[in-house]
């Protein structure tokens, strides 16, 4: 697992209070990890802070799974 | 009851009569209070009167940069904001036919947009902490309307709608958002009225007297307290029975 994936996983585990094993690449924040719409906004803001990037609203809408977040961040951070 | 020890409150417009009374009351319940306003001397005087657990922050709420910096500056000085009281407000009264765009814009900006921006700035940490209180000081005029105050009434009614929307968004995170709507409150403005003007105002108030800043502050203390954790999205009218909704 890449460094970015590890950091994403840590944020998701901390924020949603879920078991680390459940935070797989294909896990959907809402369907599998029990996030509500406010959680997804908070997660995006937490990613922005951790990785010092700005995630535009239209990009944020496409981040539905853990893998989506990792892919976006791998592409948009150094 | 209503113990606020260990909480930090930001009160905007604290150099005014109602804002000052709110700051005093929150402080008396044990809160650390940050006083924000435009008149430095008035804020300093209030802070020195209250003594410990006070911070003074001057901010021009008509200036967006100034607003952006207010919450970070306070967090640096006093820690995270537990209680935000959006009290600052201005008036630019004029009948609508003669009201200038600048007068409309200025009142919406300071009274409504600033309250939104400060709320947004505080909400993130409040949600993380799973606790927080936002209390918006609106006005009876936001519910009843008032000739000559289209801008002010719109801003104050807007505040009530915003209060309800924010309350729905953050209720699941232990953060409550409420409004307090004062009626006629003693102020330098009402002191300047003559006896017949006063009598005419009082004829509309079943309680037969003007309210005081302390009357409003008591409502704010209640809404700020842990005891009011199940109260959100509400507008508490404090008006001597002048309007009952």
**Residue B168 DSSP one-character state:** H
CB contact, 8 Å: A74 with chain B?
A: no
All residues of chain A having their beta carbon less than 8 Å from the beta carbon of residue B128 are 42
Q: Smallest CA–CA separation between B170 and chain A, in Å?
A: 8
All residues of chain A having their beta carbon less than 8 Å from the beta carbon of residue B173 are 38
Rounded CA separation B222/B217 (Å)? 9
A38–B169: do the CB atoms touch at under 8 Å? Answer: yes
Tokens found for residue A61: 């809408």
pLDDT for the residue A2: 80
pLDDT for the residue B66: 86
Question: Complex ipTM, two decimals?
Answer: 0.77
Could you list the active site residues of A? 36
CB contact, 8 Å: A41 with chain B?
A: no
Q: Smallest CA–CA separation between B172 and chain A, in Å?
A: 9
Helix/strand/coil percentages in chain B, nearest 5: 50, 15, 35
B127–A42: do the CB atoms touch at under 8 Å? Answer: yes
Mutation site, A15, A16, A42, A43, interface B, largest B CB count within 10 A: A42
Residue at token pair 């009876």: B140
All residues of chain B having their beta carbon less than 8 Å from the beta carbon of residue A42 are 124, 127-128
Which of the pair, A2 or B41, is modelled with greater confidence?
Answer: B41
A45–B127: do the CB atoms touch at under 8 Å? Answer: no
A38–B170: do the CB atoms touch at under 8 Å? Answer: yes
Mutation site, B120, B121, B123, B124, interface A, largest A CB count within 10 A: B124
Residue A78 has pLDDT above 80, yes or no: no
Rounded CA separation B206/B202 (Å)? 8
The upper half-sphere exposure of residue B192, i.e. CA atoms within 13 Å in the direction of its Cβ, equals 3
Instruction: pLDDT band for A50, please (50, 70, 90 cuts).
Output: very high
Q: Smallest CA–CA separation between B7 and chain A, in Å?
A: 24
Measured CB to CB, residues of chain B less than 8 Å from chain A are 124, 127-128, 169-170, 172-173
Q: What is the DSSP string of B31-79?
A: -EEEEEES-HHHHHHHHHHH-SSEEEEE--TTSHHHHHHHHHHHHHHH-
pLDDT for the residue A44: 94
pLDDT for the residue A1: 61
pLDDT (tens place) for every residue of chain B, 245 residues total: 999 999 999 999 999 999 999 999 999 999 999 999 989 999 999 999 999 999 999 888 888 888 889 999 899 888 899 999 999 999 999 999 999 999 999 999 999 999 999 999 999 889 989 999 999 999 999 999 999 999 999 999 999 999 999 999 999 999 999 999 999 999 877 788 888 888 888 999 999 999 999 999 999 999 999 999 999 999 999 999 999 99
Rounded CA separation B194/B204 (Å)? 16
All residues of chain A having their beta carbon less than 8 Å from the beta carbon of residue B169 are 38
């Amino acid at each position: 697992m890449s460094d970015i994936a590890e950091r994403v996983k840590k944020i998701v585990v901390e924020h949603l209070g879920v078991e680390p094993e459940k935070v797989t690449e294909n896990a959907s924040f809402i369907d599998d990890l029990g996030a509500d719409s406010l959680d997804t906004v908070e997660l995006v803001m937490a990613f922005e802070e951790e990785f010092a990037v700005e995630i535009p609203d239209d990009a944020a809408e496409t981040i539905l799974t853990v893998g989506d977040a990792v892919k976006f961040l791998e592409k948009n951070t150094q | 009851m209503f113990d606020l020890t260990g909480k930090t409150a930001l009160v905007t417009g604290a150099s005014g009569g109602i804002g000052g009374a709110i700051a005093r009351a929150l402080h008396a319940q044990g809160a650390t209070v940050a006083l924000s306003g435009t008149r430095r001397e008035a804020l300093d005087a209030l802070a020195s009167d209250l003594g410990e657990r006070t911070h003074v922050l001057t901010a021009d709420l008509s200036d967006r940069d100034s607003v952006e910096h207010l919450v970070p500056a306070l967090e640096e000085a006093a820690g995270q904001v537990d209680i935000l009281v959006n009290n600052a407000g201005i008036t630019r009264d004029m009948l609508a036919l003669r009201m200038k765009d600048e007068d409309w814009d200025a009142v919406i900006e300071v009274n409504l947009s600033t309250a939104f921006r400060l709320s947004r700035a505080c909400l993130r940490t409040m949600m993380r902490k799973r606790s927080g209180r936002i209390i918006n000081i609106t006005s009876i005029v936001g519910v009843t309307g008032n000739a000559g105050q289209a801008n002010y009434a719109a801003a104050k009614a807007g505040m009530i709608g915003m209060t309800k929307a924010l309350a729905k968004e953050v209720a699941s995170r232990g953060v409550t958002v409420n409004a307090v709507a004062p009626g006629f409150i003693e102020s330098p403005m009402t002191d300047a009225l003559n006896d017949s003007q006063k009598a005419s105002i009082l004829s509309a108030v079943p309680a037969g007297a003007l309210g005081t800043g302390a009357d409003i502050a008591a409502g704010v203390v209640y809404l700020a307290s842990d005891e009011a954790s199940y109260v959100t999205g509400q507008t508490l009218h404090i008006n001597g029975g002048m309007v009952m909704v």
